[in-house]
Structure 1
Amino acid sequence: MSSLDSLYQQIILDHSKQRLGEGLTETHGHPSADNHQYNPTCGDEINLRVRLSEDKQRIENISWEGDGCSISMASASVLSEMAQGLSLEEFNEMVEQFRQLLRSRGTIEPDEEILGDAAAFAGVSRFVARVKCAMLSWVAAEEAAKEAQS
């Protein structure tokens, strides 16, 4: 195993144990929306809440509660950490980059400047059954952000 693979594996393990953003937070009157996603293949499930800034231009907070494998829980943790403070444009770009990475089956090198710790999921792309696990919270956040904006 390369040192990069080892680092990526450690990031996923750390986030699966110390889950950032876990526990739905109050919205305090800000534009927000919740989204529920379920992966019937493995049983992973997530309820995710996106809270936007008052002008609906930035992600203020992503919080979640869920049950699932370490990949899905670590992915939700990484997402909630990375998305905070991003403009919706930056957020949508990050989600799209993550989606492309996971669909690549290992043929794309992750752009760590855009993906940060989410680049650790590059290895997951080689395991088709695990791609949905990693994408679950990202799809929920994307849908909730769209709803909160409208």
Structure 2
Amino acid sequence: MTLGNLRDLYQQVILERYKKPKHKGVTNPVHRQQRGHNPSCGDTIELTVQLNDTGDRIEDVKFEGEGCAIAMASADLMAEALRGKATDEALEMVQRFQNMMLGKAEFPTEQRKLNVMQGVSQFPVRIKCATLTWQTMKAALEASNAPVAVSNE
């Protein structure tokens, strides 16, 4: 795929997920809830997570919030990608996403939708927008049941 085609796909996916998110809302029930905020640009995300009965697998992820197209698209793609994943696998995916934003990794074929976010790494100031929701998910999975705010500074 040429660089121009990749850039077009990146822009198309970002705009599509921003305008018509598939995972916006609140899970029912809510087993984990986490707020993330990026003070440098004002993006705010509120994640809710539904876990299985043993608490080691993600049944559902939903988000609410306000922010730029990159932050909201990243939240929607993340919610889709993490549904059904074991919590330890989800934490590995969070780390992989952060590494991808630094140009050090990408996702395997079965998760290739997430690779479209690699385009953000060309704009260092926007990396925080893309990683906000992922860092918020990490905090949610590592926290006890009590919600804790996380700041992406």
Distance 1:93 1:140 in 2: 14
Partner of 1:27: 29
Q: Which runs of 5+ in 2 are unaligned?
A: 147-153
Q: Which runs of 5+ in 1 are unaligned?
A: none
Q: CA 1:15–1:148 in structure 2 vs 1: closer, same or farther (change >3 Å)? A: farther
Partner deviation per Cα, 1:67-119 (whole Å, 9 max, x = no partner): 00000000000011111001122211211110001123xxx462343643221
The question of whether the paired residues in 2 share the 8 Å contact of 1:109 and 1:122 is answered with: no
Identity %: 34
Pairs aligned (count): 144
- After superposition, the CA RMSD in angstroms is 1.9
The question of whether the paired residues in 2 share the 8 Å contact of 1:37 and 1:140 is answered with: yes
SS of structure 2 residue aligned to 1:2: helix
Partner of 1:67: 66
Q: How big is the shift at 1:140?
A: 1.0
Partner of 2:151: none
Scaled by the length of structure 1, what TM-score is found? 0.87
Choose from 91, 115, 132 the match for 1:136: 132
SS of structure 2 residue aligned to 1:136: helix
Q: CA 1:114–1:100 in structure 2 vs 1: closer, same or farther (change >3 Å)? A: farther
Provide runs of 4+ in structure 1 moved above 3 Å.
none
SS of structure 1 residue aligned to 2:49: strand
Q: How big is the shift at 1:141?
A: 1.0
5 Å matches for 1:19-58?
A: 19-27=21-29, 32-58=31-57
Q: CA 1:4–1:109 in structure 2 vs 1: closer, same or farther (change >3 Å)? A: farther
